[in-house]
């Protein structure tokens, strides 16, 4: 019987991500208050629209949301060209009398997907298109590329005021102070701990664990959430945030191998690559998830995936990928499904025979459409998707 391997996303699949969504909205609101325009803060619908276009990181969603607001304001009140950073732009907006306007979040965000490519962040892809003259519809009213570049050019810089404010809400005071080595501006409880809820029913958790124990199924967690480095490494790490681990504890799945942002960041630091080159929709994260699910070893899986993506198929005595297997990916965004397709295409070209079962998890119409467009079968929640896999496994 061919092995069945499951890669399971966290946000929108295992977990209802109330913490991230609220932290993204609160971060945008915090900065828009400085311009007296907090009424234009994005809501949960805007968050889902971003995900439908493969913009899956809040670190990209926040600056893009702020630019959408500023660009719309610029359509009724011309921005001076010397405003080259967010603080100056918001100070200038505060000094003006801005009429009530409607922010066309949906119209603008639904145009973003065409600029998102593996290997770079969503923000960088959109910025590149704007600077190269390929994005004629991008921020057309902001005749100020310095302002756009200041917000989109380095969205993974932990010293960025946007990211640090977002992390204040996400982590809460205690974890933030441990992570950054300093106290946050405002002390609060972790939004992840306070607002996230598990989508996984207890009976499905038990059934999954039983199948894993019997080796009828193999599974790992496949997420863009910040995480700790590979759990096999015994080092004193700083600047790694256990956000993915917090979610797994909430779901009672702490023992599952986890391939998250911190794991990929550690791998990139050892290979001289960047995290966007490895994270979904690039194939390395899915390859690492496959290997980690089969071996239970995150670091082995990551190393094998990086070499495999580079065309080096190692004869590793610790791990031999079966030549035929079934791969199931449970995802709520197109990026994760695309990562699976990329991984399978690479393996099939080298002689593997992988049967791919992309399972889209969503009730949001725009996200469902984007998932269906790349071949995913839609399930309303993680429990119905797992039930389908369990039924096949029993047979």
DSSP state of 85: S
pLDDT on residue 69: 97
Tokens of 326: 């079934």
Residue 198: helix, strand or coil by DSSP? strand
Q: CB of 170 within 8 A of CB of 189?
A: no
Q: CB of 280 within 8 A of CB of 224?
A: yes
Q: Is the dihedral of CA 218, 223, 227, 229 positive or negative?
A: positive
pLDDT on residue 207: 97
pLDDT on residue 311: 86
pLDDT on residue 241: 85
| DSSP code string of 348-365 | HHTT-EEEEEEEEE---H
pLDDT on residue 19: 94
pLDDT on residue 78: 85
CA 240/CA 167 separation, integer angstroms: 12
pLDDT on residue 236: 62
Taking alpha carbons only, the member of 157, 138, 155, 150 closest to residue 84 is 150
pLDDT on residue 317: 55
Tokens of 203: 């009976």
* pLDDT, block means (10 residues), the chain with 395 residues: 95 93 96 96 92 91 97 91 90 92 95 90 94 86 86 89 94 87 89 95 97 96 94 77 93 97 95 94 96 97 94 69 96 93 94 96 90 96 97 79
pLDDT on residue 316: 57
| DSSP code string of 249-279 | HHHT-TTS-EE-HHHHHHHHHHHT--GGGTS
Counting every residue, how long is the chain? 395
pLDDT in tens, 93-144: 999 988 899 999 999 999 999 998 888 999 999 999 999 888 778 998 887 7
Bridge-based pairing state of the strands 353-361 and 377-379: parallel
pLDDT on residue 175: 87
Neighbours of 110 (CB within 10 A): 15
Q: State the residue for tokens 């932990």.
A: 158
Bridge-based pairing state of the strands 4-8 and 218-222: parallel
pLDDT on residue 237: 66
pLDDT on residue 308: 93
């Amino acid at each position: 019987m061919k092995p069945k391997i499951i890669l399971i996303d966290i946000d929108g699949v295992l977990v209802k991500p109330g913490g991230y969504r609220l932290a993204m909205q609160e971060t945008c609101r915090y900065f828009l208050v400085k311009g007296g325009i907090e009424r234009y803060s994005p809501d949960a619908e805007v968050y889902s629209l971003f995900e439908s276009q493969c913009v899956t990181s809040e670190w990209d969603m926040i600056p893009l949301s702020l630019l959408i607001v500023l660009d719309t304001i610029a359509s009724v009140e011309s921005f001076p060209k010397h405003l080259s950073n967010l603080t100056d732009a918001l100070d200038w907006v505060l000094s003006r009398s801005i009429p009530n306007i409607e922010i066309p979040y949906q119209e603008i965000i639904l145009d973003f997907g065409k600029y998102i490519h593996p290997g770079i962040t969503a923000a960088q892809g959109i910025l590149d298109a704007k600077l190269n003259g390929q994005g004629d519809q991008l921020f057309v009213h902001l005749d100020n590329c310095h302002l756009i570049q200041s917000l989109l050019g380095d969205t993974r810089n932990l010293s960025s005021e946007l990211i640090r404010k977002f992390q204040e809400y996400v982590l809460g005071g205690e974890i933030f102070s441990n992570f950054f080595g300093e106290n946050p501006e405002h002390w609060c409880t972790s939004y992840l701990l306070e607002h996230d809820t598990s989508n996984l029913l207890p009976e499905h958790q038990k059934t999954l664990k039983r199948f894993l124990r019997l080796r009828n199924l193999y599974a790992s967690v496949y997420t863009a959430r910040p995480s700790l480095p590979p759990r096999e490494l015994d080092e004193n790490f700083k600047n790694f945030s256990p956000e993915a681990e917090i979610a797994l504890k909430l779901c009672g799945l702490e023992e599952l191998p986890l391939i998250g942002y911190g794991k990929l960041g550690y791998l990139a630091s050892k290979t001289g690559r960047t995290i966007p080159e490895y994270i979904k929709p690039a194939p390395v994260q899915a390859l690492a998830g496959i290997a980690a699910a089969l071996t239970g070893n995150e670091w082995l899986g990551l190393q094998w995936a990086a070499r495999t993506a580079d065309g080096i198929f190692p004869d590793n005595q610790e791990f031999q990928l079966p030549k035929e297997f079934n791969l199931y990916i449970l995802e709520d965004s197109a990026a994760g499904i695309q990562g699976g397709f990329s991984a399978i295409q690479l393996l099939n070209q080298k002689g593997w025979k992988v049967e791919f079962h992309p399972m889209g998890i969503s009730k949001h119409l725009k996200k469902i459409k984007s998932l269906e467009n790349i071949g995913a079968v839609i399930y309303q929640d993680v429990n119905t998707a797992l039930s389908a896999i369990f039924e096949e496994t029993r047979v």
